[in-house]
Structure 1
């Protein structure tokens, strides 16, 4: 017992030398252990992420059906012009300056249907105003018809299958022609001409489903329950002046038809 007492006293003295000057509890305190409040908090529990919603493909729009519905709702030429200007499903519109709708007298007996605007037409917003258009005016003036004539019997009304200029003046593609056909059909129905003159392969194909304007020109047929006369495009005549003789014969055929059915 005496040994234990002396050992305990020696241990106490050693602790005093280390700086222990009082006893504050029955349990020793480890000063190297971090306090509970300073320990890093456990990361919050993360709720399981809901699966991402499955994206449904947007319904595909049939541009031809859309054009047919839009065109059918137009009850006037002005309404059709506005509907065509607002139609955004044809990529040609993105590169065009203007929507080229029509020119001339809407009361005219003769409707001329061309292919598509060129550079001058795109800038001005009217069909057939470039060199080909100037030749067209001279051609029809030779049989007494003009787009500026106030009298319906002497007037012309001019429009195109495509209201927007194709890049590089390329030929319109079949899908583009099919997209515009409902507008063309509605245009003709609202304008209600006695005769349709198609100038070039594109309008011939749009109304009859056939090409080959060099074989078809001058031969009367019917489209949309109206007499239809195919003619070569004035731009072709500018490149091939020798063909003007045949174009003159086609004009005389138109003049005879109008007189016989006046």
Structure 2
């Protein structure tokens, strides 16, 4: 087991104990997230729903089935990526997570990001987007990769947004089709940075890939 794999196991155990969040008491199962420890792309949603709460896995309901379709558009499979949420337990009645609940689960997500060290993070929905782009409008910046502290962050619409509003489907599908090019840009930047020809940006900066 690699150090990253060991770290993810320990984080999942901590999430299962639920010491950081009051939501743990009302949840059926904790949902730490899943995927390889060496994933190049990490997807971060909002919070588990009914089906995720029952199974203890992220994105297994209708939105999860659509996410699988979207991944195929990017020539990816679930086994290629790490999928999690900013909140690790289902809020009662699928309500929006509160700022306090997001803050309580933040250490788990911070540790997961540090362990995996993905080249690209894709945020799904406005709550995960707000972690890196507070106050941003997802309808304006979706699909636009921005470098934050040396990592590419790509805000995207949540798959459920396309299920609830079919007019959003072409938007999110187009964004996913760009992911291979975004990943290639991230790998190029990593190569340049390791050779000393580039430096990390401290402020969010939009890239002109498209």
**Shorter-normalised TM range:** 0.7 to 0.9
Deviation at 1:213, TM superposition (A): 1.7
Q: Name the residue aligned to 2:76.
A: 145
Does residue 76 (structure 1) correspond to residue 12 (structure 2)? The answer is no
Q: 1:206 aligns with which of 131, 138, 141?
A: 131
State the Cα distance separating 1:224 from its structure 2 match: 5.0
- List gaps (5 residues or longer) in structure 2: 1-5, 188-210
RMSD: 1.8
Which of these residues, 201, 215, 221, is aligned with residue 146 of structure 2?
221
**CA–CA distance in 2 between the matches of 1:85 and 1:253?**
35
Q: Is the 8 A contact 1:178 1:206 kept in 2?
A: no
Secondary structure of the corresponding residue to residue 34 of structure 2: strand
Partner of 2:121: helix, strand, or coil? strand
Q: How does 1:45-60 map to 2 (within 5 A)?
A: none
1:189 aligns with 2:189: no
Aligned residues of 2:35 and 2:83 also touching (Cα < 8 A):
yes
| 1:255 paired to 2:186 | no
- 2:70 is paired with a residue whose SS is helix
SS in 2 for 1:140: helix
- 8 Å Cα contact 2:7/2:115 also seen in 1: yes
Query: Aligned partners of 2:77 and 2:116: how far apart in 1?
Result: 17
Trace 1:80-91 onto structure 2 (pairs within 5 A): 80-91=11-22
Separation in 2 of the partners of 1:260 and 1:224?
15
Q: Do the aligned partners of residues 211 and 169 (structure 1) sit closer, same or farther apart at CA in structure 2, a change above 3 Å counting?
A: farther
Local SS of the residue matching 1:218: coil
Unaligned runs of 5+ in 1: 1-74, 149-154
Residue by residue over 1:180-224, the C-alpha shift from the partner in whole angstroms, topping out at 9 and shown as x without a partner, is 122211111101111000000111113333342222211212345
TM-score, length of structure 1 as denominator length: 0.66
Q: Distance in 2 between matches of 1:249 and 1:177?
A: 29
The question of whether the paired residues in 1 share the 8 Å contact of 2:71 and 2:78 is answered with no
Q: Deviations over 1:86-114 (max 9, x none)?
A: 23342211110111011222222110000
Q: How does 1:58-207 map to 2 (within 5 A)?
A: 76-148=7-79, 155-207=80-132
Higher RCO, 1 or 2 (CA under 8 Å, sep at least 6)? 2
Q: Distance in 2 between matches of 1:123 and 1:227?
A: 32
Larger-Rg structure: 1
Q: Does the 8 Å CA contact 1:204/1:210 hold for their aligned counterparts?
A: no
In structure 2, how many angstroms separate the alpha carbons of the residues matched to 1:253 and 1:195? 12
